[in-house]
Amino acid sequence: MSNEQTSPISEELLKILACPACKVSVRLEDNKLICDECGRRYRIEDGIPVMLIDEAEQPES
């Protein structure tokens, strides 16, 4: 029996991903990758992170 929770991406991938704008690690929240440095939110489509600066959700002012 597996104790893994359903996650849109693997833990191994999450460990190596970084914000393309700030070059810092991102965290997973509500099926989006969030940069705590700049606040950008990157979506995940079919298990693939879309790490494009131009397509990221900008932080709210």
Show pLDDT as tens, one digit a residue, over the chain (61 residues).
344 557 899 999 999 999 999 999 999 999 999 999 999 999 999 999 999 999 999 987 6
As for how many domains the chain has, the answer is: 1
Structure tokens belonging to residue 4: 């893994």
Contact in structure between 55 and 36 (CB atoms under 8 Å) = no
pLDDT value at residue 48? 94
Is residue 5 a part of any domain in this protein? Answer: no
pLDDT value at residue 5? 58
Structure tokens belonging to residue 59: 């932080």
Instruction: Quote the pTM value.
Output: 0.84
Is residue 18 a part of any domain in this protein? Answer: yes
Range of the domain at 45: 11-55
SS3 track for the chain: CCCCCCCCCCHHHHHHCECCCCCCEEEEECCEEEECCCCCEEEEECCEECCCHHHCECCCC
pLDDT value at residue 1? 39
Question: What CATH number does the domain containing 49 carry?
Answer: 2.20.25
